[in-house]
Structures are given as structure tokens and as C-alpha cells.
Amino acid sequence: MSPANPFLAIGNCTLDDVVTPDGQISPRQLGGNAVYTAAGMRLWNVDVSLVSVVGADYPAVWLEQLADAGIDISTVARIEEPHLLRARSFYFPDGSRTDRLKEAQALLPANAGETLDLESEYADTGSPLHRRIWPSFCPDLSQWADQLGAAAYAHIAPGPLPRNRANASFLKRRRRGQVEITFDWPWWDWDQEAHADVDLLRNIDYLLPSIEELTIHADAAEGAKTVTDNPDGHAFDVARRLLAKGPKGVGVKMGARGMRLLLQNQKRWFDIPTFPTTAVDPTGAGDAFCGGFLVGLAHTDDPVEAALYGAVSASFIIEDFGVLHSLQVNARQARSRLRRLQALLALQK
């Protein structure tokens, strides 16, 4: 990779079924944490490489659309097995979601079976199918190291712990530490759910979990055994203890409530608002935030300002189903929203 193309989005491509609280259905849409992250980067007019793995039957047209929008797909590996990494997102009126059909039965319209495949087994997070196939669709060094070892900015989405650890360590070694790495915690290794891996975290510059992830995996921060949905409570202690393991900052994504950022040697949260817009499909907003955040770091070297970039990226993603609509957004539009969000934040101070 040339110095002019420094951004990596490392993670999954998926086929997503989405059902909104009002019963709207969007089947088999292009998704995946790496795809949304790459889109969140691209709208700032930076050069992005998507580092992922797809199956033999993954729709080529989707990758072509990403490429047409300027996202480098040369580092997307295609394997011979079918692309079984399917995802469901069923959203409830309070903004929460589930990927489990049984939990969402009351949400589904009567004719949902005519649009969605409700019979096949899906790779619900933590299910036996997910555990079996997920590693096949998470990129490892053999698939991308030779091409992208010079990257200066990388976001690593959740993946098997040994793979995430190896990817982060490789980037830091290759760049002699001159690389910024963000990571969306946790890494979903089910035998190590409450384990904050120091060998990984020492190579992560900014840890960007959702409040739900921080809640579920609070035990990973030794001494912080409970975390509530109130970020002013135990979440601060959890974030502080995670900072002690290596990162420069921990940003807790809270959906429509915005984001809270705790930095090394700071004693308070920085509150980051969302950009006011109408949410149609919140899928991928957190991933797009991570992509925008990393671009903001590159542009400003200021994590608080970078979080505003992230909020802008997320705002474009949620305005329609899937990711493809966001590929039409340009940097001028993004900068316009950034200025408005900067003004909003100034008023809140």
C-alpha cells in the first residue's frame, strides 16, 4: 500500500436481514462490520482498503459497488465454501435488537415468512454454527500482510482473539509503532468472554465498545465486577481499568444517546452528541462510527474531535437500509454535518 492509501477496515462481510420496529423488512442486504467501517471512512474522501473474507457465492455485484465507490477490494479473499455468515437484526421500539428469531416473534409481521428465510439455521452470535464458521470469514495475516503492512490507520472489528492479537501486533511491528489502531471490543471468544487480553490491548490505541458490550463483559476489567446501563456509574470504573491495560482512550457508544470518551490521565467523560437525523435502519452505525473516528484522528490528532467525525459517519448510515446508499455521500456533505455538530457541541458546553 502506498502512503496515500493508509486506512484499513479489517473484519467481516455478511448477508443481513433487517426488521425495524414498525415491521419494515430488508432481506439479504450487504452488511458486515468491516463493510460499514469502510463506508464510514470513505465518505471523508480518504483511500480505504477492505480486508475481509467472502464465500464462493457471495454476490460479486456488491463488491463491485464498493469498488466503484472507491473502496479497495483487492484484499477481500474469496474462499471455496458457501458464505454462511448470515445475520439477522430485529429491532425493538426502545432501540435494542436481537439476532434470535424466538426473541423477535412478536415483532414480525404476519407475512414475514414470504420475505425472510425463517427456516434455515442462521449464525446467531454464540450459536454452534457461528462458532464453527466464523473463523473462516475473519481475515488472517496470510491473506493480507504482504499487501497492507504499511498502513498507518486500521480498525479491527471483533474476531477470534488469536487472530485479532496477531493482526494488531503485526501492524505495530511493521510500522514500528507508527500506526493508530482502533478496536471494537469484545472479540467474542466464548471460552474467554471475561478476559481482557493484555497482549492485544497493549497494541490498541482506542477501544470502542458499545454500552451493551461493556455491560456484558465488565468482568474483563479486574475489580469492576458490575456495570449498569448508567455510564456515570460503574462504566467509568470499567473504562478506567481498561485504560490501564494499554489503550489511550475508551469510547463507549450508546446509540441514540451519543458516545462517552475517557482518555488517559483524564478524570471525566467527554460527552459526544449524535447528529440529529431520522433513523431508518441503525444497523452498522457503530461500525461506521469507528471508521469515521479513525479518519478524524488522522485529520486532527484529537480524539474528542475524532468522535465528532465518527458521529457524522454514523448519521449517514442510519438514514436508509444497508450501506450502499451511504456510498453516494461525499466529503463536502460530511464536512457540512461536522461543522453543525461542532456548533451543537459548543452550545452544550
Is 111 a domain residue?
yes
Q: For residue 121, is pLDDT > 80?
A: no
Is 292 a domain residue?
yes
* H-helix or E-strand spanning residue 155: strand 153-156
Q: Tell whether the torsion through CA atoms of 35, 178, 184 and 261 is positive or negative.
A: negative
Distance CA 246, CA 248 (A): 7
Name the grid cell of 1. Answer: 500500500
Let me know: does 251 contact 206? Beta carbons within 8 Å.
yes
DSSP string across 326-344: GGG--HHHHHHHHHHHHHH
Q: Beta strands 206-207 and 180-183: pairing type? A: parallel
When pLDDT is averaged across residues 230-241 and rounded to a whole number, the result is 74
pTM of the model: 0.90
pLDDT confidence of residue 227: 47
Name the grid cell of 113. Answer: 415468512
What is the b/e burial string over 249-266, where b = at least 16 CB atoms within 10 angstroms of the residue's CB?
bbbbbbbeebbbbbbeee
Let me know: does 34 contact 48? Beta carbons within 8 Å.
no
Is 193 a domain residue?
yes
Average pLDDT of the chain is 87
231 secondary structure, DSSP code: T
CA-closest candidate to residue 288, choices 35, 53, 113? 35
Is 238 a domain residue?
yes
In which domain, by residue range, is 34 found? 7-348
Residue 93 burial (CB count, 10 A): 9
Distance CA 139, CA 238 (A): 29
Distance CA 263, CA 273 (A): 17
Is 331 a domain residue?
yes
Q: What is the pLDDT of residues 33-83, one digit of tens each?
A: 999 999 999 999 999 999 999 999 999 999 999 999 999 999 999 999 999
Is 2 a domain residue?
no
Q: Tell me the CATH number at 319.
A: 3.40.1190.20
CA-closest candidate to residue 257, choices 290, 280, 237, 282? 282
Classified as helix, coil or strand, 260 is strand
Residue 107 burial (CB count, 10 A): 18
Confidence band for 100, pLDDT divided at 50, 70 and 90: confident
Question: What's at 76, amino acid-wise?
Answer: V
When pLDDT is averaged across residues 284-289 and rounded to a whole number, the result is 95
Distance CA 62, CA 42 (A): 16
Place of cell 472489528: 157
Is 340 a domain residue?
yes
Distance CA 296, CA 129 (A): 37
Distance CA 204, CA 220 (A): 16
Q: What is the pLDDT of residues 243-271, one digit of tens each?
A: 999 999 999 999 889 999 999 988 899 99
Is 1 a domain residue?
no
Q: Name the domain count of the chain.
A: 1
Name the grid cell of 168. Answer: 494488531
Chain centroid to Cα 205, Å, comes to: 15
CA-closest candidate to residue 331, choices 323, 339, 343? 339
